[in-house]
Structure 1
Amino acid sequence: MKKLVEIKDVCKIYNPGENEVRALNHVNLTIGEGELVAIIGQSGSGKSTLMNMLGCLDTPTSGKYFLHGHDVSHMTDDEQSDIRNREIGFIFQGFNLIQSLTAMENVELPLIYRGVGKKERERLADAALNSVGLEKRKTHRPNEMSGGQQQRVAIARAIAQAPPILLADEPTGNLDSASSKEIMKIIKRLYAEGRTVIIITHDPGIAAQAKRIITISDGMIQSDIINPDYKED
């Protein structure tokens, strides 16, 4: 399996000195292309800091982060922004949709930032919304949709230009159980289609649906296992 993500001896320290907080403490991690990984930890475990590293939203105090073999750990903000646009699709707990835009327009927006032409981005957005079962909701705004439908729009936005990594931060955290099952089914289908999916969660039930489970606590990886109970949908 080809390496996609490689983190080497990464530390993230806040408030250096007497009151320092080691959010990440000498973390080493490799994730290959086409994996379905859950990173699980409680509040304060370091999982959100690790997510920010993986998503090029933050840089380590020390250590290295390689993405596709390129060291992205100390890039400038503009360089990291470019990496995020090209390499990573984000799915957030809070959906992060723009309320004044339709589902179609929300999915198209990142494509505009990437310089995709009008016809092509309409084609990509249309295909992405179809793939998550929102054929009849393309002209609806977020306040006209359920939480599960809004999260499906967010997934369509994340996958529209087929980024190598999908990074899902508590993707079912704001959803009821039925909607959660629906969203996880879509995420597992995307994995089955060959995408690399990394789920950040505090919920053991969500983590148990991943093929590989990484547990983090006190800024350190406590366990990294292949899920013996993993089942393909």
Structure 2
Amino acid sequence: MEPLISIKDMHKIYNPGENEVRALDGVSLEIHEGEFVAIIGHSGSGKSTLMNMIGCLDTPTSGSYFLHGKDVSRMTDNELSDVRNQEIGFIFQGFNLIANLDAIGNVELPLIYRGIDRKTRRAAAKQALIKVGLEKRMTHKPSEMSGGQQQRVAVARAIAASPPVILADEPTGNLDSKSTKEIMQILEGLHKSGRTVIIITHDNEIAEQVKRVIYIRDGRIEQDYLNEEKQGE
């Protein structure tokens, strides 16, 4: 079965020459459809650069990246924008919600960019908010919600268009322990429903809750292993 994500000998070099920084230094990995993965590493390890590559937010200096069989490492900015819009649902640490829009308005926003008609996108946004347990908060603005609720809006926004990949960058970094648990349960539920969920984190406790852990250090994959305790679930 062809992997959903296939990265081969990827390098990302900043300031080539004497003071160059090898943010990624020969990374190769495959992620298959339906996996629940954590990419973990300390600050400066290269995990954020790898996330930018997987999310089509940046292109490598060398190496290849195939997503759904397409070589996205050679695409133009406009082509990458289309891939991001169609293939990837982003969840960020900082929520990135629009302050003057209510929850349903925030979830609808990416669907507008996809050209989805108003009735269809409103129904999709409502369904996504129900999935994350916010059916009673749809008309609330971010300032009227807790951090955990805001992050659930961000999750709903990421899943509303049913993208094949959910890419979560430190999704619990700004949350208390109760909200962290709730968000991880939602992400695990998305995985169990068939989504491919990739979490970028520095938190070992988060990594313990996924099925596969990729540990990156100094721009290289140091470990890639299955979390045995989660394999039967």
Q: TM-score normalized by structure 2?
A: 0.98
Equivalent residue letter for 2:48: S
- Partners in 1 of 2:195 and 2:230 — Cα distance? 17
- Partners in 1 of 2:47 and 2:172 — Cα distance? 16
For this pair of structures, how many residues does the alignment match?
233
**What displacement does 1:229 show?**
2.0
8 Å Cα contact 1:6-1:66 kept in structure 2:
yes
Question: What RMSD over aligned residues (CA atoms) do the two structures have, in Å?
Answer: 0.9
Q: Which residue of the partner structure matches residue 222 of structure 1?
A: 222
- Partners in 2 of 1:38 and 1:232 — Cα distance? 17
- Partners in 1 of 2:152 and 2:23 — Cα distance? 31
Alignment of 1:153-172 (within 5 A): 153-172=153-172
- Partners in 2 of 1:47 and 1:30 — Cα distance? 15
Equivalent residue letter for 2:74: H
Q: Which residue of the partner structure matches residue 107 of structure 2?
A: 107
Alignment of 1:1-233 (within 5 A): 1-230=1-230
- Partners in 1 of 2:25 and 2:5 — Cα distance? 18
8 Å Cα contact 1:209-1:231 kept in structure 2:
no
Q: Deviations over 1:56-98 (max 9, x none)?
A: 0000000000001110002111000000000000000000000
Q: Deviations over 1:142-190 (max 9, x none)?
A: 0000000000000000000100000000000000000000000000000
- Partners in 2 of 1:10 and 1:229 — Cα distance? 31
- Partners in 2 of 1:231 and 1:126 — Cα distance? 32
- Partners in 1 of 2:232 and 2:86 — Cα distance? 29
**What displacement does 1:228 show?**
1.2
Equivalent residue letter for 2:46: G
Q: Deviations over 1:118-142 (max 9, x none)?
A: 0000000000000000000000000
Equivalent residue letter for 2:187: I
Task: Give percent identity, aligned residues only.
Answer: 69
Q: Say if 1:177 and 1:27 are closer, same or farther in 2 by CA, change over 3 A.
A: same
| Structure 1 residue matching 2:56: 3-state secondary structure | coil
- Partners in 1 of 2:230 and 2:30 — Cα distance? 20
| Structure 1 residue matching 2:17: 3-state secondary structure | coil
**What displacement does 1:231 show?**
6.8
**What displacement does 1:230 show?**
1.8
Equivalent residue letter for 1:92: F
| Structure 1 residue matching 2:73: 3-state secondary structure | coil
8 Å Cα contact 1:89-1:166 kept in structure 2:
yes
Equivalent residue letter for 1:109: L
